[in-house]
Amino acid sequence: MASVRILEGIGVGTRAVRAEVLRWSARKPLPAMAKSSLGPEVEVNTLSKAIANLENQYAAKIKAATDKDLREILEAQSAFASDPELADMAKDFCVQGWDAPSGLQLAMGEFKSLLEGAGGEFGERVADLDEIVYRLIQWMSGESEETILPTIGSFIIVADDLTPMDTIAFTDVVVGVVTKGGGPTSHTAIVCRSRGIPAIVACTGADELVNGQMVVVDPDASQAIINGELADIDVDWWAARTNQGGPLIQVMANVGSVADAAQVKSANGVGLLRTELFFLNNKVAPTRAEQQALYADVLAAGPDGEIIVRTLDAGSDKPIAFLGIGHEENPALGVRGQRVAAIAPKFYEDQLHAIKAAADSVKATGKKIEVSVMAPMIATVEEAQVFARDARAAGFTHVGIMIEIPAITRVIGQLKGVVDFMSIGTNDLSQYLFAADRVNSGVAALLNPWQPALLSILESIATDSAAAGIKVGVCGEAASDPLLAVVMAGLGINSVSASASSVAAVSELLSRVDNKAAKSAAKAARGATSARDAKSAAKQALLDG
* Helix/strand/coil percentages in the chain, nearest 5: 50, 15, 35
CB 289 within 8 A of CB 535: no
Q: Which of 427, 441, 480, 502 binds ligand PEP (CB under 6 A)?
A: 427
425 binds Mg ion (CB under 5 A): yes
Q: In whole angstroms, what is the distance from residue 493 CA to residue 95 CA?
A: 60
- Name the binder of 23 from Mg ion, ligand PEP, none, CB < 5-8 A by kind: none
- Report DSSP letters for 46-83, one per residue: HHHHHHHHHHHHHHHHHHH--SHHHHHHHHHHHHHHT-
Q: Is 94 marked active-site?
A: no
Q: Which amino acid is at 124?
A: E
Quick one: which segment of 74-82, 282-290, 426-434, 449-457 binds ligand PEP (CB under 6 A)? 426-434
- Closest approach, Cβ 458 to ligand PEP, in A, equals 12
Q: Which residues pair with 305 in a beta bridge?
A: 369
Q: Which does residue 426 touch among ligand PEP, Mg ion, none (CB within 5 to 8 A, set by kind)? A: ligand PEP
Edge-to-edge strands, sheet with 214-218: 5-8, 223-226, 214-218, 17-23, 155-159, 174-179, 199-201, 10-12
Instruction: Give the one entry of ligand PEP, Mg ion, none that residue 311 binds, where binding means its C-beta sits below a cut-off of 5 to 8 angstroms depending on kind.
Output: none
Within residues 360-419, the interface with ligand PEP by CB under 6 A covers 404
Window of 51-59, 187-195, 356-364, 420-428 that interacts with ligand PEP by CB under 6 A: 420-428
Cβ distance to Mg ion smaller for residue 123 or 219: 123
Q: What is the DSSP string of 317-386?
A: TB--GGG-----SSGGGSS-GGGGGGT-HHHHHHHHHHHHHHHHHHHTTT--EEEEEEESS--SHHHHHH
Q: How many residues bind Mg ion (CB under 5 A)?
A: 3
- Report how far apart, in Å, the C-alpha atoms of 234 and of each of 221, 240, 243 are: 11, 11, 19
Among 299, 475, 498, 510, binds ligand PEP (CB under 6 A): 475
Q: Nearest approach, Cβ of 423 to ligand PEP (angstroms)? A: 8
CA distance 107 to 249: 50
What character string, x for contact with ligand PEP (CB under 6 A) and - otherwise, covers 264-293? Answer: --------x-x-------------------
313 near ligand PEP, judged by CB under 6 A? yes
Query: Which range touches Mg ion (CB under 5 A), out of 80-88, 213-221, 397-405, 490-498?
Result: 397-405
398 is catalytic: no
Contact indicator for 25, 169 with CB cutoff of 8 Å: no
Q: Which is nearer to Mg ion, 220 or 404 (CB)?
A: 404
How many Å separate Cα 345 from the centre of its chain? 28
Part of the chain binding Mg ion (CB under 5 A), chosen from 322-330, 400-408, 459-467, 536-544: 400-408
- Please report, as ranges, the residues that interact with Mg ion according to CB under 5 A: 404, 425, 428
Catalytic site positions:
187, 475
